[in-house]
Structure 1
Amino acid sequence: MITVRHSQDRGRADFGWLDSKHSFSFGSYYDPEYMGFSALRVINDDVVQASAGFDTHGHRDMEIISYVLEGTIEHKDSEGNVQTLPAGELQLMSAGSGIYHSEYNGSNSETLRFLQIWIQPNEFGKKPGYQQKDFGQESGLTPIATPNGRAGSLHIKQNAELHQLILEPNSSLKYEIKPGRKLYIHQVKGKLQVSGTRLGEGDGASIESQDFVEFKNEHQTPATALVFDLP
């Protein structure tokens, strides 16, 4: 079964310095039908104005992934990490027993756009951790985060995998779903068909009780999506 969450149906919070679209309930946006999906708790599409950002605040026992789409993030945390994330890079912060951090737009003239993703862990109270990597723009499926850090991916504290999918024009790819697993697709750029279901930018699709899905790009520009393989 494939259930689509259309981009225009997402929650929204506009604070002037931040314009955020929420795929799931977050902050003041609450929808009991969209509290998360499996271990996936948050996908926020955040646009941050120049020289603005999130002041120092705390998290614990959450796997927090940031995927920069436009601009640059300036990151600082209580573990001593001071990092810059340009467009295309991904960051995984394991909050563990507790961490404080700030995230700012590193430009004084350009906006920052990034996806903020929260995944609930299956290990609690562990030492906080920080990982960052640029996975490039290779066609096909690229593992971004896995439980064992395989193939150079980020190590996530959950029995979940996150893949970057890039499909060139007029191409397709089949993805096998293991028994008992679920998928969530977030369309980042371009248009995609998922087993005949059409997704546009910002759309999401939850997939349950299927053995496989087939991704197709029948358009003239590449399509980029995030594929979450969840327990």
Structure 2
Amino acid sequence: MGRDPFKLRMIRPGRIFQKKGVDLAFGPLGRIDHAFLDTGTVVGMHEHRNDEIFSYMWHGTMVHEDSSNIKTANSPMKLMMMNAGSSFFHQESVPSGQVEMLQIFIRPEKKDLNPAIQFYDRPVSFANGEWNLLAGPQELNAPLTIRQRVAVYDIHAKAGREINIPSVPGMTAWVYVMDGNVTVDEAELFKGDAISDSKAALPTFRSTNDTTLVAFLVDMDAPATLSGWFSGLGEGYE
């Protein structure tokens, strides 16, 4: 969607199991935008309601401003979670360079929770070849809290690595290739591909070259509101 200087690929993660339908979420994981923003891009001040929004920065720096009077620069070393709740306004801009990122929209457990915003300054050693827990429900003690039973991890693996997908009891994995490529059994996955299995744990991956994966662990049966403007079906839904 879109064109220079702002393009995105809108991903409906539930399409991995069903191709058509009104609701193409993967449990409470509603939507993922794989976005590309060039120098000078400004996404003007706009409102979110009932969306849990995780900004996963892959390349570049993006300036965030919001209705709580916060202005800060987000990057791969500084990640952000917006818990929009009853109402939250924000604006994003790219003063220089280019940005590639995932904007991840998750359905909160309840409608009209209190709005909040969180930031995570990642350790310099994040590219350690191991899974990094970035965001998740309170019981996982993740750096960023999602008000839902969804957890987000990433890994930056060198070529030739065997990769076992993280697991949490009661959660199903949905794994996205952010960069590089991997083999899974006889399948080869490239940048922009995703894989899941509703009945069993995913097998071991092997990185063909230097690869970044983003793994979502999702409680498919978790209670969630459908009223999110981006994560759900909009006003009028509970």
Structure 1: distance between partners of 2:41 and 2:215: 30
**Which letter does structure 1 place at the counterpart of 2:108?**
P
Q: Using the TM superposition, give the Cα deviation of residue 174 of structure 1 relative to its aligned residue in structure 2, in angstroms.
A: 2.5
Match of 1:55, SS state, is strand
2:211 matches 1:208: no
- Whether the 8 Å CA contact 1:57–1:102 is kept in 2: the answer is yes
**Which letter does structure 2 place at the counterpart of 1:53?**
V
Q: Which moved more, 1:176-185 or 1:198-207?
A: 176-185
Match of 1:185, SS state, is strand
**Counting strand residues as a fraction of each chain, which structure ranks higher?**
1
| 1:29-85 alpha-carbon deviations (Å, 9 max, x no partner) | xx7368221111111111122111210000011110112222211101112221111
TM-score norm. by structure 1 comes to 0.82
| 1:111-164 alpha-carbon deviations (Å, 9 max, x no partner) | 222211111111332221111224322211110111117455211100111111
Change over 3 Å in CA distance of 1:195–1:63 after alignment to 2? farther
2:47 matches 1:58: yes
- Which of 120, 124, 127 pairs up with 2:114? 127
Change over 3 Å in CA distance of 1:95–1:20 after alignment to 2? same
- Whether the 8 Å CA contact 2:196–2:202 is kept in 1: the answer is no
1:74-89 alignment runs, 5 A limit: 74-89=63-78
How many residue pairs were aligned? 210
2:216 matches 1:228: yes
Match of 2:164, SS state, is strand
Structure 1: distance between partners of 2:139 and 2:95: 29
RMSD: 2.2
> Corresponding residue for 1:163?
153
- Whether the 8 Å CA contact 1:176–1:212 is kept in 2: the answer is no
Change over 3 Å in CA distance of 1:54–1:180 after alignment to 2? same
> Corresponding residue for 1:41?
30
**Which letter does structure 1 place at the counterpart of 2:101?**
F
Amino-acid identity (%): 22
Change over 3 Å in CA distance of 1:137–1:158 after alignment to 2? same
Q: Using the TM superposition, give the Cα deviation of residue 92 of structure 1 relative to its aligned residue in structure 2, in angstroms.
A: 0.8
2:128 matches 1:141: no
Structure 1: distance between partners of 2:215 and 2:203: 11
Q: Using the TM superposition, give the Cα deviation of residue 204 of structure 1 relative to its aligned residue in structure 2, in angstroms.
A: 1.6
Q: Using the TM superposition, give the Cα deviation of residue 209 of structure 1 relative to its aligned residue in structure 2, in angstroms.
A: 0.7
| 1:156-202 alpha-carbon deviations (Å, 9 max, x no partner) | 10011111122222221323645653211111111112344321111
Q: Which runs of 5+ in 2 are unaligned?
A: 14-18, 220-238
Q: Using the TM superposition, give the Cα deviation of residue 88 of structure 1 relative to its aligned residue in structure 2, in angstroms.
A: 4.2
Structure 1: distance between partners of 2:194 and 2:43: 25
> Corresponding residue for 2:229?
none
> Corresponding residue for 1:7?
none
- Which of 177, 183, 186 pairs up with 1:193? 183
